Every structure is written in C-alpha cells, then in structure tokens.
Amino acid sequence: MPPVETLDRALRAASPSEVVEVALKSVGRERLALVSSFGTESAALLKVMADVDPAIPVIFLDTGWLFGETLAYRDTLIATLGLRDVRSIKPREETLSRQDPERELWFSDPDACCRIRKVEPLARALKPFAAWINGRKRFQGGARADIPVVEADGGRLKFNPFANVSREQIEAIYRLAKLPPHPLAASGYLSVGCMPCTSRTSPDEDARAGRWRGRAKTECGIHTTRTP
C-alpha cells in the first residue's frame, strides 16, 4: 500500500472517479469500503463509485434514529445505481439497552449517542478493510475546510474523492445522471442525519446548520475519531 503522503500529492488535482480508481487499485475491492449516509448529497459519490465498480462494499450506518425517507432513499439508490453490496450496520442491542434504554441519550449526551450508534458500529464494520471512501467536501466548512484527498485513519487509508468539488459540480452530477433527490431535500433539509438532531435550514444558512442546531457539536465523531 503506497504511503499516504505520496497518494495525497498524486491525487490533489484528480477527479473523483480517478480517486476511487486509485483507491481500488491500492487495496483491492475486498479491502475497500465506501461509507455513505444516503443523505442529501450521497447519490453523487455513489454514482461515481458505481461507474468505477458497483460491487465495492458500501457501509450504511442504520442508527435506529434515521428518517424513514432516508431508509427508502437507500433502497431507491441501490436499485437506481445497481449497487451490489450495501451493508446496513446497526448498533449492538445490548449496548443500546445498557446505555440508552429510554432513547433519550441524544438529548442528554449527543456525543455519547453518536458514539454508540455511529462511531462504534463503523469501527466494527471497517475491521476487514484497509481503506475507506467518504463524501466530505471542503466547501462544507468547519473541520472539513482543509481536508486532504487522502489521509491516514488509524492503520487505514481514508479517501476523500469530493474534497475539491464544488456544490455546483455535485448538482451537475445529479442533473447529468438524472439522480433522484433525497425525499426531504425539497422540504428544506439540506443535510440529513438522525431525526432528533436534524432540522431544516434557511437559504442563507450553511448546509450543515441544521445538524445539532443550538449546540457546539458539528460532527458525529466518525470523522474525528481514528478507527482502530
């Protein structure tokens, strides 16, 4: 597996499809996964991946708090794009029973809620893989403003094929491929996560302003915690 710095330098000006192709060649399909929320911008990256190899494993974190529309969108995109290996990963029932028996952890300790419903399940799901692909973009701002195209994530490579893309380029992918939008996008949800921690955004707000509104929290933890 090439050094992360070498890959990042080589791919700084690469197209998203070129990044996915290099990720695939670097570790092979059995050792590469794409992690997708099947959110409002997810179809663009899934389309790019499917054009390279629709059998690359896709990990979807079914937290138990997702909108029904997101679950339906997952199924729609699987059929539309011909995705062959989508793995819906859920939190462990014993963990939920022990740490969130009343389903109120999202309110009292959202970091802990994200940890047991997203961070720990993802760490478990990624164990067989040497590298993973995600859809973060620099234009989303905050902690994402300076992300590289390739970075180290514990002992894995983490590829960010959309690091350099603009919102207009993503819209163009949707338009040219006639991709269906997330069912909640028309209702003002520009970024969709778990139901209790997602709200609508107004046109003058950042796309992720509706996530954990009113709290200092801006990330669920899967991109700020190194996976073992």
**Which residues carry out catalysis?**
220
Rg from Cα positions in the chain: 17
DSSP labels for the chain? ---HHHHHHHHTT--HHHHHHHHHHHH-GGGEEEE----TTHHHHHHHHHHH-TTS-EEEE--S-B-HHHHHHHHHHHHHHT-S-EEEE---HHHHHHH-TTS-HHHH-HHHHHIIIIIHHHHHHTTT-SEEE----GGG-GGGTT--SEEEETTEEEE-TTTT--HHHHHHHHHHHTPPPPTTGGGT-SS--BGGGB----TTS-TTTTBTTTSS----STTTS---
- Please enumerate in sequence order all residues whose Cβ is within 8 A of that of 182, keeping only pairs 6 or more positions apart, or say none: 38, 39, 40, 42, 43, 69, 70, 73, 189, 192
